[in-house]
Each structure stands twice: as structure tokens, then as C-alpha cells.
């Protein structure tokens, strides 16, 4: 059984922009350990020289369109769901520390 220490889970939570209380930290540490132990099964397989597949359909290729202006959402439509706005901008709390 894999063991994942709480500091690792705390670090991953920070990267994920999530805050976990002590109870959640305990629960997720043990659940992630059991999931990752199961996943470790993949190491039974030798995959040297195997190409990774990020998309299953081989014919997919990058798509370009002509760089011409066309209608998209108006600022009003795009901002309709904004929790806070100022003019045509999304408004957020203070970004830089200080007074």
C-alpha cells in the first residue's frame, strides 16, 4: 500500500487552489493512497518505445482559420455572468499585497 504524507496532499491542494480542513486532509490522504496504489498496476507493463496517445483519432490535425474579424459574444453577453464587473471588465479583489 502506497503512503502519501499530508504535506504532499497539502502542497497539491495549494496547487489546485483548494483548502482542506484536517478531516478532509486525513480522508483525501488515505483515499489518494489507495487509488494510487491501484494505479501502480501500470508499472507491470513495459512501455519503453511505446508512443504516447493523447488523442485516439489519428486523422486529427491542427485546424487554422483565416484571421478575419467576425461576430463573437458582445461584451454585455460575455459579462452577463460576472460576479462583479466594472464597465466592460471583470472585477476581482485586490491582486497585489499592500495597503
Partner 1 sequence: MDKLHSYTAHALMKMIDKEALDPSTIRSDVLDRIERLDGKIKAFVLVNRPDTSAPASGKQDTSGRLSGIPVLIKDNICVKDEYTTCSSRILEGFRPPYDATVVKKLRCEGAVLIGKANMDEFAFGSSCETSCYGPTRNPWALDRIPGGSSGGSAAAVAGDCTIMALGSDTGGSIRQPASLCGVVGLKPTYGRVSRYGLIAFASSLDQIGPITKDVEDSALLLGVIAGHDEMDSTSVDMPVPDYTKALVKDVKGLSIGVPKEYFVKGLDKDVEECVRGAIEKLKGLGARIVGISLPHTEYAVSAYYIIGPAEASSNLARFDGVQYAFRDRDSRDLIDMYIKTRSKGFGNEAKRRILLGTYCLSSGYYDAYYLKALKVRTRIKEDFDKAFGSCDVIITPTSPTPAFRIGEKSGDPLGMYLSDVYTIPANLAGLPAISIPCGFSKEGLPIGLQILGRHFGEETIFRTAYTFEQNTDFHRKRPAL
Residues in 2-31 that interact with partner 1 by CB under 8 A: 8-9, 12-13, 15-20, 24, 28, 31
**Residue 42 DSSP symbol:** G
Task: Collapse the DSSP code of 90 into the 3-class scheme (helix H, G, I; strand E, B; otherwise coil) and give the result.
Answer: strand
DSSP for 30-58, written as a single string: HHHHHHHHHHGGGGGS--TTPPP-S-S-T
Judged by CB under 8 A, does residue 97 bind partner 1?
Answer: yes
Taking the complex as a whole, how short is the minimal distance between the CB of residue 5 and partner 1, in angstroms?
A: 12
Judged by CB under 8 A, does residue 60 bind partner 1?
Answer: yes
Which cell numbers hold the place of 33?
493512497
Q: Is the dihedral of CA 52, 2, 28, 19 positive or negative?
A: negative
Taking the complex as a whole, how short is the minimal distance between the CB of residue 91 and partner 1, in angstroms?
A: 9
- Binding residues for partner 1, rule: CB under 8 A, are 8-9, 12-13, 15-20, 24, 28, 31-32, 34-36, 38-45, 47, 50-57, 59-60, 62-63, 65, 73, 77-78, 80-84, 90, 92-95, 97
Amino acid at each position: 500500500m502506497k503512503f502519501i504524507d499530508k504535506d504532499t496532499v497539502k502542497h497539491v491542494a495549494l496547487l489546485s487552489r483548494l483548502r482542506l480542513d484536517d478531516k478532509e486532509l486525513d480522508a483525501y490522504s488515505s483515499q489518494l493512497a489507495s487509488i494510487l496504489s491501484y494505479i501502480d498496476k501500470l508499472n507491470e507493463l513495459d512501455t519503453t518505445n511505446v508512443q504516447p496517445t493523447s488523442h485516439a483519432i489519428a486523422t486529427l490535425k491542427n485546424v487554422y482559420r483565416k484571421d478575419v474579424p467576425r461576430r463573437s459574444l458582445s461584451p454585455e453577453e460575455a459579462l452577463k455572468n460576472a460576479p462583479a464587473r466594472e464597465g466592460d471588465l471583470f472585477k476581482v479583489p485586490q491582486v497585489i499585497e499592500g495597503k
